[in-house]
Amino acid sequence: MTRIILILAALAFSGPAYAACSERIDLTDTQVDGHMAAFHSAETSDLEKIRAFNELCRSNDPSIRALAVDAALESGGPPLRATLLTELLLERETLILEPYDNGNLSDDQMTWIEGNPPVTLSFIFKDAENSCIGLTYSECRPGHLLDYSGIGITVSSRGSVGELTLNEAGDLEGAWTPDNTSLRIPVRARLR
């Protein structure tokens, strides 16, 4: 699947750093091995995994940051996936919603999918403290924002609404309800 795929490889963050990944650091091989071991131990708590992820995603080495993402997806429960989703949202600049045929579409849904390109939403403003991203204005205004909490996001833009969840497989999926319709279009999301 899309496996936030290489949205995640995108966590080989090249842009500005936010939240836990705010300051790049050099990690020794021993430190990396120790943090990676936290993901593979059944005795490691979610909190310890989050701490390990936060350290690894600060690495100066993009391949170590990418390993942190893979490890978080493979071994993380909802708290770790929530940390990962927050970091991804704060690092990226664009959300792309790609409609797809889930095998259970009405004729109206299929017509909408065939007649419309993917929905691209640019991030104008980021407010990590209030867990929102402004899509049209330099603030988080109702009707023009992306709101995130835990492993879910809600998007509202110009009358259209989307609800997506980061699932255990690492896919950011959900439904998009276009403006002036009652259609719920299945979508997968990519972050760029």
pLDDT at 182: 94
Cα 95 from Cα 80, distance rounded (Å): 21
Torsion angle in degrees (nearest 10) through CA of 177, 104, 82, 143:
0
Average pLDDT of the residues in 142-157: 93
pLDDT at 22: 64
pLDDT digits (tens, 9 = 90+) for 9-66: 344 444 444 445 568 899 999 999 999 999 888 898 989 999 999 899 899 999 998 8
pLDDT at 122: 95
Greater confidence (106 vs 13) lies with 106
Q: Where are the domains of the chain?
A: 5-90, 93-191
Cα 160 from Cα 143, distance rounded (Å): 8
pLDDT at 170: 82
How far CA 157 is from CA of 32, 153, 171, 178, in Å, comes to: 41, 13, 22, 9
The greatest distance separating any two alpha carbons of the chain, rounded to the nearest whole angstrom, comes to: 57
| Predicted confidence band of residue 177 (pLDDT cuts 50, 70, 90) | very high
pTM for this model (two decimals): 0.79
How far CA 106 is from CA of 109, 110, 113, 115, 191, in Å, comes to: 5, 6, 11, 14, 28
pLDDT at 139: 93
Looking at this protein, which amino acid is placed at residue 70?
D
